[in-house]
Amino acid sequence: MDQESEEDKRWNESKQSAFTFDDFDDDHWKFGNNGGDFFSSSSSTTAKKSPITNKDYESVTEALKFSLPDTLPPSLPTGDGDRRLDSVVSRLVKHNKLRLLQRKEGSSAMISAIFQGSRHLISSLKSKEDKITFLDAAIDRHDGDYITAAVLHIKKTLSPRLFHQEMRERNEAIDSYINYLRVTEQTDSLTDFLSMVARHEEAAMTKLKHAMSVEGMEGRKRAIVNCSTNYFSASSLASSMTFKSDLMTFWLSLLSDEVSLLERQLPIEEEDKRVENQPVCEANTKFVEVPRKCLLGLSVITTLFYCCLYHFDLPENYLASPLSIKKAFNISDRQFAWTALMALSMRKKWDSIDGIFQAKSWLGVRKLKGDIDFDSVCRILLKYSAPVDMVTKYAMAIEDVESRVEFARQHNLTKVLKASSNVAK
């Protein structure tokens, strides 16, 4: 009897904590519509240490009639046999109580318990009807956290066909699941799901945003081409009424231009980088005068500025030719003139600037003619310290006499003042 009492005492005084599902840290519960925990009102706690009684051991026989829980610890505790048995019994006792609750009270009691904080019970909803009942109850409560939890459980345990069928009928569940996929940055799953629920325009823009964020220009170019083909082409949007034809044409043109720009930038950057890294010579002195920055990923106008800065004299059949870029991307004469003026002034290539604004009349006479006002041209020339004779020449071309005289007085351009006074007489 003494030996038996000592064994009972050892079992009842075991310091091993009972297993509790609340000890799990499942990342699925970290995301909600508001970015917080799904179950912010309940936090994980350590199980209270309580002795396992003989009554608990007797309940093991009943517990073994039911299947084990879906989620078990990674491994049983290591150590003495009594500790392992203690853990097994604790789990079976808890699982037995769960099954008895389901048997006696039905699924409604279990769903009520879930809403009261027993989140571990979600995995015990086995039938399709119980899962859908839980989802509908969460929708009735307008609780985005529980809606998302229900949707994730349904997706995990039902076939894709049934999952999509049930989701199509519940817009609030669709919105919660979309928000979850956005927060967890599951772009492929998000675009597939958006297409499945006929939100084609949103799927296309989501894919485009992801494509534009790809690091590495070669990878970005491939991603944009893939996006254009699969989400913006006429065939991919044939069944969609959300995209208007003119809007689709706009996006297709925009994506085509983006790909063309990347295809132009990549070889220019590669060649300029090679020349820049050579020993100082005539070919790379321009990179010494004005240190260059990487061209990749820049806008069309900034690319034009770069090429005006370093490659202005190239003929149109070169990728880096400013005239080639102007033609390829339909850049207006005004945009081209302003961009070229800024770049050439920075390089102090004054003779090249004349080529932008000089035009021949039908009699062959050269005269200054520009798409931007010459008042602005003069101010840019002064900013970059252009020769006085050049500033005077362009100041003389200012059409408004009062503006011309005022500008000449501000900058002490005597020739302009004399010429203007003669005209006034």
Residue tagged 């209270």 (tokens)? 48
Predicted structure pTM score: 0.65
Structure tokens at 316: 């149109």
Could you write out the DSSP letters of every residue in 253-273?
A: HHHHHHHHHHHHHHHHHHHHH
Would you put residue 356 in left (φ > 0), alpha (ψ -120 to 50) or beta?
alpha
Could you write out the DSSP letters of every residue in 318-379?
A: STT-HHHHHHHTT--HHHHHHHHHHHHHHHT-HHHHHHHHEEE-TTS-EEE--SS-HHHHHH
Structure tokens at 383: 């900013």
In one-letter notation, the amino acid at residue 79 is G
In one-letter notation, the amino acid at residue 405 is V
- Within 13 Å and on the Cβ side, how many CA atoms surround 333? 7
CB 154 within 8 A of CB 163: yes
Structure tokens at 394: 């362009």
SS3 23: helix
Structure tokens at 212: 């534009």
Would you put residue 137 in left (φ > 0), alpha (ψ -120 to 50) or beta?
alpha
Could you write out the DSSP letters of every residue in 97-148?
A: HHHHHHHHH-HHHHHHHHHTT-GGGGGG--SHHHHHHHHHHHHHHT-HHHHH
Tens of each residue's pLDDT in the chain, 425 residues = 455 555 554 444 444 444 444 444 444 434 444 444 433 343 343 344 455 455 544 444 444 444 444 444 444 444 555 555 556 555 555 555 555 555 445 567 777 777 887 777 788 788 888 888 889 888 998 888 889 999 999 899 889 899 988 898 899 999 999 999 999 999 999 999 998 888 888 888 899 999 988 888 999 999 999 888 888 876 655 555 555 666 777 888 889 999 999 999 999 999 999 999 988 888 888 998 899 999 999 999 999 999 999 999 999 999 999 999 999 999 999 999 999 999 999 999 998 998 888 766 566 556 777 788 889 999 999 999 999 999 999 998 888 888 888 888 988 888 888 877 765 54
SS3 9: helix
CB 300 within 8 A of CB 331: yes
Residue 355 CB coordination number (10 Å): 12
Could you write out the DSSP letters of every residue in 204-233?
A: HHHHHHHHHT-SSHHHHHHHHHHHHHHHSS
* Domain chopping of the chain, boundaries: 2-184, 255-331, 352-425
